Amino acid sequence: MLQIETVTDPAEWDRIVDGAGGHPLQLWGWGEVKATGPWRPVRLKAVAADGEVLGGAQVLVRRLPVPFRALSYVPRGPFVAPDGAGTADARTRVIDAVVAYCKREIGGVGVTIEPDWDVSTPIEASGLKRASNTILYPSTLILDLTKPEDELLAAAGKSTRYDIRKAARTGLEVRRVTSEAEVRDVIELYRVSAAHAGFPLHDDDYYLAIHREMGDASLLVAAFSEGKPCSFVWNVVSGATAFELYGGVDDAGRKLRANAPVKWHATRLAAEAGVRRYDMNGLLNDGISEFKKSFAQHTDELIGTFDVPFSPLFAVWDKALPTAKQVLRKIRR
pLDDT at 129 over 80: yes
User: What's residue 332's pLDDT?
Assistant: 44
Distance (Å, whole) CA 136 – CA 304: 8
> pLDDT band for position 23 (50/70/90)?
very high
> pLDDT band for position 330 (50/70/90)?
very low
Q: Are residues 86 and 117 in the same domain?
A: yes
Question: For residues 151-188, b (16+ Cβ closer than 10 Å) or e, as one string?
Answer: ebbebbbeebbebbeebeeeebebeebeeeebbebbbe
Q: Are residues 189 and 109 in the same domain?
A: no
Question: 3-state SS string over the chain?
Answer: CCEEEECCCHHHHHHHHHHCCCCHHHCHHHHHHHCCCCEEEEEEEEECCCCCEEEEEEEEEEECCCCCCEEEEECCCCEECCCCECCHHHHHHHHHHHHHHHHHHHCCCEEEECCCCECCCCCCCCCCEECCCCCCCCEECEEECCCCHHHHHHHCCHHHHHHHHHHHHHCCEEEECCCHHHHHHHHHHHHHHHHHHCCCCCCHHHHHHHHHHHHHHEEEEEEEECCEEEEEEEEEECCCEEEEEEEEECHHHHHHCCHHHHHHHHHHHHHHCCCCEEECCCCCCCHHHHHHHCCCCCCEEECCCEEEECCCHHHHHHHHCHHHHHHHHHHHC
Q: Are residues 108 and 210 in the same domain?
A: no
Q: Are residues 237 and 316 in the same domain?
A: no
Mean pLDDT, rounded, for 186-193: 97
Q: Which residue has the higher pLDDT, 197 or 38?
A: 38
pLDDT at 197 over 90: no
Q: Are residues 176 and 294 in the same domain?
A: yes
pLDDT at 254 over 50: yes
User: What's residue 322's pLDDT?
Assistant: 58
In the chain, % of residues over pLDDT 70: 96
**pLDDT per residue over 70-116, tens digit each?**
999 999 999 999 999 999 999 999 999 999 999 999 999 999 999 99
Q: Are residues 179 and 43 in the same domain?
A: no
User: What's residue 246's pLDDT?
Assistant: 97
pLDDT at 333 over 80: no
Q: Are residues 105 and 37 in the same domain?
A: yes
Q: Are residues 95 and 242 in the same domain?
A: no
Distance (Å, whole) CA 182 – CA 202: 18
pLDDT at 329 over 60: no
pLDDT at 213 over 80: yes
pLDDT at 325 over 80: no
Q: Are residues 166 and 278 in the same domain?
A: yes
- Range of 42's domain? 3-135+303-332
Mean pLDDT, rounded, for 199-213: 97
pLDDT at 12 over 90: yes
pLDDT at 119 over 70: yes
What's the mean pLDDT when you consider all of the chain? 95
pLDDT at 198 over 80: yes
Mean pLDDT, rounded, for 214-223: 99
How many domains, the chain? 2
Domain containing residue 236: CATH number: 3.40.630.30
pLDDT at 328 over 70: no
Q: Are residues 307 and 296 in the same domain?
A: no
Q: Are residues 174 and 288 in the same domain?
A: yes
Q: Are residues 154 and 269 in the same domain?
A: yes
> pLDDT band for position 320 (50/70/90)?
low
Neighbours of 194 (CB within 10 A): 15
